[in-house]
Amino acid sequence: MSTRYQVVNPYQGEVIGEYGYTSAEAALAAIATLKAGQRMAKAMVAHERADVLRKLAGLLERHGETLARLITAETGKTISDARVELSRAVNTTIASAEEARQIHGEALDSDAYAPSRGRIGLVCWRPLGTVLCITPFNFPLNIAMHKIGPAFAAGNCILFKPGPANTASARLLTELCYQAGIPQDVLQLCIPSLPDMAAIIGHPDIDAINFTGGTAAADAIAAAAGYKKLLLELGGNDPLILMPDGDVDAAVEAAINQRFATAGQRCTAAKRVFLHRDVHAAFRERLLARTRQLVVGDPSLEETFVGPVIHADAAAAVMAGIEQAVAAGASLLCGGKREGNVILPTILDQVTDQCALMTEELFGPVIPLAVFDSLTELIARINNTPYGLQAGVFTQDLRVIRQLFEALDVGSLMANDGPGFRAEHFPFGGVKGSGVGREGVKYAIREMSIQKTLVL
């Protein structure tokens, strides 16, 4: 395998950077640095960590436009979408600063059960040590801060491993972390080749792994990790549901924003749209009308809503999913064409549950429509997938919301919104093949900590 790699602009096809992978020797040196830095990390008290994160939030704002344009060049994300990500990353950093001051345990009375022993148990949260934080290409800044922020707030050292496509933005983020006051002995950037990753994951001085990405990579991480704490945020095949009493226009907007934005490359994207038969036609026509208004193409332009997918292989996979659905009888209502790495926003009707668009996680601007008649039927169809991240339902009936909340195999259900909703301080994560553990700043801090009990 080559020791160097290139970063290619997904829209223009131009090489915008060439870098060397972190060597195995350099990665081991970084791990050793962090092991030694654990004393320094633990010595920083809560208010000091909070102040550093607050300063980092300010630096992210100050360098926001530079970071946003780097993200657009590296990933093809539209500039408007990149700016939204930047603002969310600032919020995540601020939330991490505030939660650093709020890490607290509890006191337990031993006399709750006989015999009386007159002792008190003080339960505290303490850092794990060194956390390997692995981030994907699609939200290179905000997902990074969902890992770095809580890990640092908890008092851990951090080995930051971004996707190679995000090298320039990751380097700038790391430099801003240092400027804010995170010591280099506490945070190290590392982009090794895939063959070297197994040794890093299994290294005894890596105490936990916080990963966002695909299930195949997660399987490899779990196999190599051994007895380490794992926080795995994986894929989704998230449904958007429209009931007969739901707001059709709001559902259309949610589908547009949560499937076509970021060119559909989101784990929480509305990847399956289930329409009650009574509202199927109305939703379909309004969705088509709105889709035809979208500006597609150059992600660096302010008006562009749909840019390219990350690379040619990703574009080919999306087109294969579209073609399979059409071959299985789906109606192609719009799109279905590729221009370089840009997939035109695509809507397919009457997509069968057996199509890859409905059973697999496909990263692309494609909305498959399916019709249902009853909740019982709908629940079984939605749950018939290896994923279980989030779901959204549009209805005014609280009984329906409660029934879906209890019956669907998902981590979160959004009422009168699509499945793509996320707030930085809410718990985030799924069930089944969608992951293990929860992010969301407060919850991620606990995932990256250990409980210790002092008995007095």
pLDDT in tens, 150-196: 999 999 999 999 999 999 999 999 999 999 999 999 999 999 999 99
Which active-site residues does the annotation give? 233
Alpha helices in 156-279 (DSSP H): 167-180, 194-202, 215-225, 248-255
Average confidence (pLDDT) per 10 residues, the chain, 456 residues: 91 96 97 97 96 98 98 98 97 98 95 93 97 97 98 98 97 98 98 94 97 94 94 96 98 98 96 98 98 98 98 96 96 97 98 92 96 97 96 98 98 98 96 96 97 96
Query: What values do phi and psi take at 98, rounded to 5?
Result: -70, -40
Edge-to-edge strands, sheet with 366-372: 331-334, 346-349, 366-372, 272-276, 239-242, 390-394, 412-415
C-alpha separations of 94 from 100, 152, 175, 425 in Å? 10, 13, 18, 10
Residues 447, 231: contact at Cβ < 8 Å?
yes
Q: Which domains does the chain possess?
A: 4-235+432-455 (3.40.605.10), 239-415 (3.40.309.10)
- How distant is the alpha carbon of residue 368 from its chain centre? 22
Distance CA 123, CA 110 (A): 13
Name the nearest CA neighbour of 67 among 132, 5, 131, 145: 145
In this predicted structure, what is the pLDDT of residue 1? 65
324-383: pLDDT as tens digits: 999 999 999 999 999 999 999 999 999 999 999 999 999 999 999 999 999 999 999 999
> Which amino acid would we find at residue 88?
R
One-letter amino acid of 417:
D
**Is residue 342 within 8 Å of residue 11, measured between CB atoms?**
yes
3-state secondary structure of 14: coil
| pLDDT score for 53 | 98
Q: Tell me the residue type at 358.
A: M
The Cα–Cα gap between 231 and 215 comes to 13
Tokens of 18: 């060439």
Closest CA to 200 of 161, 157, 155, 148: 161
Torsion, Cα of 362, 366, 372, 377 (10° steps): 10
pLDDT of residue 116: 86
Of 222, 296, 203, 245, whose CA–CA distance to 416 is shortest? Answer: 245
CB 19 within 8 A of CB 5: yes
Distance CA 189, CA 193 (A): 13
Written as one letter, the residue type at 158 is I
pLDDT at 437: 96
- The span from the first CA to the last CA of the chain, in angstroms, equals 57
Residues 364 and 263 sit within 8 Å (Cβ to Cβ)? yes
Q: For residue 330, what are its two tokens?
A: 């789906």
Provide the token pair at 266.
């989101």
3-state secondary structure at position 268: coil
Contacts 24+ apart (CB under 8 A), 101-108: 101/46, 101/47, 101/50, 102/442, 103/46, 103/153, 103/154, 103/445, 103/449, 105/451
- Burial class of 115 by CB neighbour count within 10 A (0 to 12, 13 to 18, 19+): exposed
